[in-house]
Structure 1
Amino acid sequence: MPDYRRNRVPGGTYFFTVNLLERHSHLLLEHIDLFRDAVRKVRARHPFHIDAWVVLPDHTHCIWTLPPGDTDYSSRWKAIKIAFAKSLPKTERLSAVRARKGERGIWQRRFWEHTIRDERDYANHVDYVHINPLKHGMVQQVSNWPYSSFHRYVAAGMYPHDWAGEMVELQAGERTSV
């Protein structure tokens, strides 16, 4: 069995990428209100601060800060995935393994996590979250994507409305300007 090692910093700030199992699905956007409800319900029971978030058709990127002393982001993701899956009718196709284990065929089992190291790392990952719809060719301007915390950042004066950022890529936990 693989040994997945997660970096755990009490009260830390983390960047996540979480994918649907079917990478060509639009399930997250088709059921955006159900996904938002799942996140809201989990946050009510297990608080965390949402620093940045973007929801794309088949995956999501976000940055969370956990409460002081708390390191348990995995249970939060598990609860979000379960709550979202339970809110959907069982129409997805299942592999024999998932059916045998009583699993749904909605989410990839794992997620990608990166512990934010410092202010520069934080700023780079916030930019990465917000540039993602443009990077994937879904919009011509970042401001045109409605499922993003970008609009909250514009309202707070942290980005101009027409921000397009430098196209950045995440490579082995590092962000580099192109």
Structure 2
Amino acid sequence: MSDVIPPKARGAAHFFTVRLRDPSSDLLVREVARLRQATRMTRARYPFDIDAIVVLPGTVHTLWSVPADDNDISHRWTLLKSLFSRGLRGAANRTPAQALRGDKAIWQRRIWHHVIRDSDDLERHRRMIHAAPVQAGLVARPQDWLFTSLHRDLALRHREDTPAAPPPFSRMRNKTVASRPAATSPAQ
């Protein structure tokens, strides 16, 4: 990936595919908590929004929106990959040069990066992210995959489509009952 982002891409949405060096590895799903922590720490230092994401055993597909005034994507990915790799053993087949540099040879060096052009392009990439587990043969339906933002999107859509439920009766305060005069019993 180039360190230079075209000026027209500043503040735009970006699609990424990031892969492990070993395509048969399931490290990302085994260590998904570590990946989430690395992502949180990276976002704290270099803010970005995750518009959509799917974590497959050896691949991450994601859509990010970055601030218009800070489009340093390469530092974000370098930090995220480094934070994820800390504490993990390096690949057994890494070269002496990689070992000398401290490169654990866990990640592919390059990532696939695409600047989103318009809302149609954004929606196409979002659908591709959601369909990735099915295309990889991991599940029959996208919603059956655990490590995807599809669940968040479905929950948001459900909340938007469903009117707010009334508060539970135990939390309601019926002030009109308290302000009514006490019922008088008929004179005997």
> TM bucket by the smaller chain?
0.7 to 0.9
**Contact in 2 for aligned 1:7/1:115 (Cα 8 Å):** no
In structure 2, the residue matched to 1:116 is 116
Count of residue correspondences: 155
> Secondary structure at the residue paired with 1:114?
strand
Residue 96 of structure 1: how far off its partner (Å) = 2.6
Q: Distance in 2 between matches of 1:34 and 1:115?
A: 27
The yes-or-no answer on 1:92 pairing with 2:91 is yes
Distance in structure 2 (CA, Å) of the matches to 1:50 and 1:107: 20
Corresponding residue for residue 31 of structure 1: 31
Q: Name the larger-Rg structure.
A: 2
Following TM superposition, by how much is the alpha carbon of 1:45 offset from its aligned partner in structure 2, in angstroms?
A: 1.1
Q: Look up the match of 2:106.
A: 106
Secondary structure, in 3 states, of the residue corresponding to 2:68? coil
CA distance in 1, matches of 2:87, 2:150: 27
1:156 match: secondary structure: helix
The reply to whether residue 20 of structure 1 matches residue 16 of structure 2 is: no
**What is the alpha-carbon distance in structure 2 between the residues aligned to residue 5 and residue 64 of structure 1?**
16
The residue correspondences of 1:158-173 to structure 2 (distance < 5 A) are: none
**1:101 shift after superposition:** 2.4
Normalised to the residue count of structure 2, the TM-score between the two structures is: 0.78
Contact 1:34 1:87 in 2 (8 A): no
Change (3 A) 1:67 1:148: same
Q: For residue 75 of structure 2, what is the aligned residue in structure 1? A: 75
Q: Is the CA contact 1:38–1:80 (under 8 Å) kept in the aligned structure 2?
A: yes
CA distance in 2, matches of 1:130, 1:6: 29
Partner residue, 2:154: 154
Paired letter, 1:33: A
- Following TM superposition, by how much is the alpha carbon of 1:49 offset from its aligned partner in structure 2, in angstroms? 0.5
Shift of 1:21: 0.7
Aligned-partner residue type, residue 82 of structure 1: S
- Please state whether the residue corresponding to 1:157 is helix, strand or coil: helix
Q: Which structure's residues are more often strand, by fraction?
A: 1
Identity %: 37
Give the corresponding residue for 1:163. Answer: none
How far off its partner does 1:91 sit?
4.7
SS of the residue 1:108 aligns to: coil
Distance (whole Å) between structure 2 residues aligned to residue 103 and residue 51 of structure 1: 30
Tell me the secondary structure at the aligned position of residue 157 of structure 2: coil
Any conservation in 1 of the 2:14–2:115 contact (CA below 8 Å)?
A: yes
The amino acid of 1:64's aligned partner reads W
Q: SS of 1:17's equivalent?
A: strand
Whole-Å separation in 2 of the counterparts to 1:110 and 1:104: 15
Runs of 4+ in 1 over 3 A off after TM superposition: 3-8
Partner of 1:49: 49
